[in-house]
Structure 1
Amino acid sequence: MKVKGKIFALLILLFLLLLAACSDDAGTNEESEGTDEETTTEETTSDEDADPFGAYEEAITIAIGQEVDPTDTSLEEGETPLNNKYVNHVKENLNINVEHAFTASPSNYDQKVSLAIASNDLPDAMIVGPVELRQMVEADQLADLTQVYEDYASPAIKEIIDSTGGVALDNVTFDGKIMAIPNSQASADGIHNMWIRKDWLDKLGLEPPTTIEELKEVARAFVEEDPDGNGEDDTIGLAGPDTSNKLYANFLESTNNLYGFDGIFSAHHAYPGYWIEGEGGDPVYGSTLPETKEALATLRDMYAEGLIDKEMGVREDSGESVISGKTGMFSGPFWMPYGPITDAVTENPEANWQSYAVPLDENGEYTPHLSTPTSSYVVVRKGYEHPEAPMKMLNNLFAHESEFDHMEGGGGPGHYPLRLVYAPADEMEVTTVAMREVLAGTKEPEDFYDMPAYKLIKNDVDTVFDAKLEPYDNMDIEHWDITSTSFTRAYSALVGTAPQVDTEVKGVPSLIYSQTESMEDRWVNLKKLEDEIFLKIIMGTEPLDSFDQFVDDWKQQGGDQITEEVAEVVN
């Protein structure tokens, strides 16, 4: 009887639910003819609530941590890091007021971030690297952005992030939750070409070098044969890293290393700072391999012979020697016109800086290391009341970056708050080919308009004739209008990226680009050990064979355990 009673109660409940549903249907049918407008309004309101580009009805405030480069040229006279065209654009388009929780120069930014984490005094949002991201996740300091990404990331940004094959989102996903907004960068950011003063080559009757030996001879000529013609012994053959940069990029910072020796290591098939496959198929740390010792020996000899900047490692800004016309060669990515080159040619319009895929290895192949598709992340403080605001700001930047890039003053949107770079892996190569085709007349600018993921390509093809002068297939500096606002971007594409377009790149990636568990406690000390001994070997204050002791120390101080952890990750 109890069972029958339960069944009877269930039948009564189902009957009541059906009756209510029928009543709702009847009401809907009776009012359907007069409620199309109301239904549409409700849907629109719902969509607006999660509009990736929608402005807030009432102004909100976001306090950010921001890197502020005092040499950045993207601000006009009278503008400040908080009162400029970029911050004002955020206010006008999104009704977001940007404030600074802290600012720091590029050399001090990481320290400021670390202090904020240690004191548990985070800004509402800031940009961090993979190490800091993991620290904040473990300290439970960050907002869960899973739903923010799903609802507010623009379709174009989602398309680009998806193009990384899951790498970008994997790097910010912890226990199934998206804890940061990742960037996605062009692969060209991780390839470090050799920038060379071609006018110095021409003056001295030299051809562009291809091998390490030829590179050394060019550096020697630049040092000894007075290429600047001032009668003084004051020129630098090859620049070296300054206090803000590294001897080479590494798996945690795999892009945009300025003035390092990445190419010389790669030409030796040495990949220090990277995790690569060893002879037995297991992962090995490139800094511990014999090829790295060979590359250090080459650099040691070059430094001893005066071919490398004598102030390497202590100079505050190697770019100053480029701008002043004292350096003949340096290593850097395609975008160096956004660095010292535009200033250098403004100071001296004959400074014909060209980019080359050198040095090549002993087989004549270009074998640079490759970067991760994502390396920077926007994080949001747990408890911030508008966690979607940073995502909206990134959408706004991506949608309008082509306008920013050509604003008066040039320089690109370096002061845009919470700026992450979003680009397909082949963005620069595709852009360079498109601009070449427009210059050659084989295609029209309109042929490249419908490519939303390539955010700058429309402006690139529309403005290329503003900066490039005839003959259009000659990239020497005398055939450019260096006063054009399009010059820096066009020169980066047509000169800076040319080596990747015209040379087969046999790049070597790192097996991982993030930390393992033991690295969190030990990597800082291991990296310091590596950096110090390698610099001393190159500068001749430690013997070359101290490399062997470094390898032993590295293994004993945690390297072997970390290697085992890397093997678990990649196998």
Structure 2
Amino acid sequence: MFKKLLFLLLMVFVLVACSNDDTASEEAAEGDTENDTGEETSSEPADPFGAYDETIKIAIGQEVDPSDTSLQDGDTPLDNQYTRHVKENLNIEVEHAFTASPSNYDQKVSLAIASNDLPDAMVVGPVELRQLVEADQIADLTDIYENYASPAIKEIIDSTDGIAIENVTFDGKIMALPNSQASADGVHNLWIRKDWLDKLGLEPPKTLEDFKEVARAFVEEDPDGNGQDDTIGLAGPDTSNKLYANFLESTNNLYGFDGIFSALHAYPGYWLEGDDGQPVYGSILPETKEALAVLRDMYSEGLIDPEMGVREDSGESIISGNTGMFFGPFWMPYGPLTDAIKENPEANWQSYALPLDENGDYTPHLSTTTTQYVVVRKDYEHPEAPMKMLNNLLANESVFDPSIGGPGYYPLRLVYAPADEMEVTTIALRDVLAGTKEPEDFYDMPAYKLLKSDVDTIHEIKLEPYDNTDIQYWDPNANLGQWTRAYSALVGTAPLVDTDIKGVNSLIYSQTKTMEDRWVNLKKLEDETFLKIIMGTESLDTFDQFVEDWKNQGGDQITEEVTEVVD
């Protein structure tokens, strides 16, 4: 009897234990579990905007421009409207693993790669991305992108026809988060002090000869009226910028000579189709030598900033009112122009699709839509955090005020925009100002992240006549942040909307195998040679020796590889 009773008790115990195990398994399937890294996951769909229950930290590498004075009093690069928004919305606390100025950031990134001492996440270019993949230092973000990228970001990325994802895919894995920017970023317009033109009775220069005459007048005829010989005709690149954009850095070149090169059908830094139909590097073509000769003459005649190449920030000469012309993208109001009109409210900076080529056409170089990438350190315990931060930026960018801290202070900032974002914005603002459409007509366009605030606020800052964009017909003080945005659209982007652009693309915008070892030295050879030719410390014929050296030091082999890629 006792044995039967013991057997029954044992059976009850086993049944209860099994029942508890089944219940626990069901609860685990329905609730939170842990992955092999110990991080909590959920069977619920990932929330691209979900805040963490407990504060997490992310140490990033960040570019911080020491000349940027836009932060409001009391704010710092680690405590500002952007970092506070990330903390409040996502419960992510940002720390700095390193910071660097724009001229030193790439070097800091290279040092981090070489020492295998990466921050948790950082923004890199295509060269550094390939190095990180080959060194096996960054996380596979395939599942992160699929599960955490917001619908709006996926829509924008998809609009690149696969280019953005292709640029970050290695052996079938997404190894970084790509940006996608407006195509307008790659066109470098001519910005001119129109009040200086008006004072001297000049028109915007259509040809290169006109251009040189305007520059000469700005230097010699005292356009600022102070009686001193202190004006600059054309700004030149500072130590943080380039003589021209190139196929690896095809956007947002400031104060370079892109417009002069393209007016002469010279496209240094780009891979072009040669006369024989085969790829050729634009920097070794006769058109580039011709453009260097023009720039050399302008520099020797004092028409270009004599401190080009050594000046730390060419924007300072624009803010101080000493410079009359420069080349730059549509968004220059986010750069020095806001401070320039603070210093002098009558500084009437206007943007033009000039100069034209000998046929009267505007022929600028064009950019790729994907140029920057966020990478995440391998084994960082929250690899989805950077994706959430980018989702947060795109969804909330309209709430930020760039006049109290430029957008570059947003941690891990990438630009996400449809290719035609600025052109669509310009046309929408014109329609609202003309009364042909209402702001509400543009509300349901989430990929155009700032469009709703653009159309809602345009009447606060734009004065009549609405079709005249001269500075006196604006009220920046009514809403300086919105003025910056609207001026970028109605002045900076307007030439791209109103001009029949015959732009030139590079055949490729990425590296080949030999470039990984040779390109840094080849680019250094190119930059130093061209700068010396322009400044007159080397003869123009030095160009011919450069071409020979470039070919012998790897250029010919690289050209063969580019041909294979294009074919």
**TM-score computed with the length of structure 1 as normaliser:** 0.91
Paired residue for 1:142? 138
Paired residue for 1:540? 536
Q: Summarize the alignment of residues 435-446 of structure 1 with structure 2, pairs less than 5 Å apart.
A: 435-446=429-440
**C-alpha separation in 2, matches of 1:109 and 1:344:** 26
Paired residue for 1:15? none
**C-alpha separation in 2, matches of 1:74 and 1:148:** 34
The alignment partner of 1:414 has SS state of: helix
**C-alpha separation in 1, matches of 2:212 and 2:284:** 25
Paired residue for 1:270? 266
How far did 1:466 drift? 1.4
How far did 1:505 drift? 1.0
| Segment of structure 1 superposing worse, 480-489 or 497-506 | 480-489
Letter in 2 for 1:176: G
How far did 1:320 drift? 0.6
Deviations 1:267-297 (CA, angstroms, capped at 9, x unpaired): 1111000001111111100000011011111
Which of 147, 153, 170 aligns to 1:157? It is 153
Letter in 1 for 2:410: Y
Q: Summarize the alignment of residues 114-513 of structure 1 with structure 2, pairs less than 5 Å apart.
A: 114-404=110-400, 406=401, 409-483=403-477, 484-485=479-480, 486-513=482-509
Deviations 1:437-492 (CA, angstroms, capped at 9, x unpaired): 10111110000000001000000101111111111111000111121221111111
In the alignment, is the contact (CA less than 8 A) between 1:435 and 1:460 conserved in 2? yes
Q: Summarize the alignment of residues 516-535 of structure 1 with structure 2, pairs less than 5 Å apart.
A: 516-535=512-531
**C-alpha separation in 2, matches of 1:458 and 1:410:** 21
How far did 1:47 drift? 6.5
Letter in 2 for 1:245: N
In the alignment, is the contact (CA less than 8 A) between 1:411 and 1:488 conserved in 2? no
| Segment of structure 1 superposing worse, 211-220 or 49-58 | 49-58
Letter in 2 for 1:123: P
* Stretches of structure 2 lacking an aligned partner (at least 5 in a row): 1-21, 33-40
Letter in 1 for 2:530: F
**C-alpha separation in 2, matches of 1:98 and 1:46:** 25
Letter in 2 for 1:369: H
**C-alpha separation in 1, matches of 2:419 and 2:43:** 31
**C-alpha separation in 1, matches of 2:334 and 2:405:** 6
Matched, 1:102 2:98: yes
**TM-score computed with the length of structure 2 as normaliser:** 0.92
Paired residue for 2:17? none
How far did 1:74 drift? 4.7
The alignment partner of 1:80 has SS state of: coil
Paired residue for 1:57? 53
Deviations 1:324-356 (CA, angstroms, capped at 9, x unpaired): 111000000000011111111110111100000
Pick closer, same or farther for the CA change 1:401–1:74 going to 2, 3 Å: farther
Paired residue for 1:3? none
**C-alpha separation in 1, matches of 2:531 and 2:194:** 29
The alignment partner of 2:407 has SS state of: coil
Letter in 1 for 2:418: P
In the alignment, is the contact (CA less than 8 A) between 1:74 and 1:415 conserved in 2? no
Letter in 1 for 2:339: D
**C-alpha separation in 2, matches of 1:449 and 1:337:** 25
Deviations 1:137-173 (CA, angstroms, capped at 9, x unpaired): 0000010000100000011001101111111111100
The alignment partner of 1:497 has SS state of: helix
Deviations 1:511-558 (CA, angstroms, capped at 9, x unpaired): 111111100111011001100110111111111111111101100000
**C-alpha separation in 1, matches of 2:274 and 2:206:** 27
Letter in 1 for 2:122: M
In the alignment, is the contact (CA less than 8 A) between 2:71 and 2:406 conserved in 1? no
**C-alpha separation in 1, matches of 2:158 and 2:62:** 27
Letter in 2 for 1:135: Q
Letter in 2 for 1:92: E
Deviations 1:409-439 (CA, angstroms, capped at 9, x unpaired): 4454221110000000000000000001101
**C-alpha separation in 2, matches of 1:124 and 1:187:** 30
**C-alpha separation in 2, matches of 1:194 and 1:494:** 15
In the alignment, is the contact (CA less than 8 A) between 1:48 and 1:54 conserved in 2? no
In the alignment, is the contact (CA less than 8 A) between 1:65 and 1:100 conserved in 2? yes
Deviations 1:41-60 (CA, angstroms, capped at 9, x unpaired): 99xx9575511111112221
**C-alpha separation in 1, matches of 2:472 and 2:135:** 55
Which of 552, 566, 569 aligns to 2:562? It is 566
The alignment partner of 1:568 has SS state of: helix
Paired residue for 2:10? none
In the alignment, is the contact (CA less than 8 A) between 1:72 and 1:414 conserved in 2? no
**C-alpha separation in 1, matches of 2:29 and 2:241:** 58
Which of 84, 88, 93 aligns to 2:84? It is 88
The alignment partner of 1:378 has SS state of: strand
**C-alpha separation in 2, matches of 1:39 and 1:113:** 42
Letter in 2 for 1:139: A
Q: Could you say what the CA RMSD is over the residues aligned between the two structures, in angstroms?
A: 1.9
Pick closer, same or farther for the CA change 1:41–1:320 going to 2, 3 Å: same
How far did 1:40 drift? 9.9
The alignment partner of 2:219 has SS state of: helix
**C-alpha separation in 1, matches of 2:115 and 2:129:** 15
- Count residues in correspondence: 534
In the alignment, is the contact (CA less than 8 A) between 2:266 and 2:282 conserved in 1? yes
In the alignment, is the contact (CA less than 8 A) between 1:346 and 1:482 conserved in 2? no
**C-alpha separation in 2, matches of 1:391 and 1:288:** 41
Percent identity, aligned pairs only, is 81
In the alignment, is the contact (CA less than 8 A) between 1:424 and 1:454 conserved in 2? yes
How far did 1:71 drift? 3.2
How far did 1:70 drift? 2.5
**C-alpha separation in 2, matches of 1:49 and 1:381:** 24
